[in-house]
């Protein structure tokens, strides 16, 4: 397997996005910006499995 499935990437991105909206509504603007950025990056990257030695 070359990386996480689309469902896993979408789930992780959705969790970060939901946390970003929650943080934005509370007023934690810096944290929400970081969470939105993390959601965007985690959905775009193709992460490889770690090497097994």
Residue 52, in any domain of the structure? no
Which one, of 27, 4, 5, 24, lies nearest residue 16 by Cα?
24
Residue 1: band (very low, low, confident or very high) from pLDDT cuts 50, 70, 90: very low
4-39 pLDDT per residue, tens: 577 777 888 888 888 888 888 888 788 888 888 887
Q: How far apart are alpha carbons 13 and 38 in whole angstroms?
A: 8
**So what's the pLDDT on residue 3?**
57
Question: What is the residue range of 29's domain?
Answer: 6-44
The pTM score is 0.59
pLDDT score recorded for residue 4: 59
Residue 34 lies in a domain: yes
Report if residue 49 sits inside a domain: no
């Amino acid at each position: 397997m070359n990386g996480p499935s689309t469902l896993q990437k979408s789930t992780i991105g959705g969790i970060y996005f939901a946390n970003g909206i929650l943080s934005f509504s509370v007023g934690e603007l810096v944290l929400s910006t970081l969470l939105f950025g993390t959601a965007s990056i985690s959905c775009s990257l193709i992460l490889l499995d770690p090497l097994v030695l």
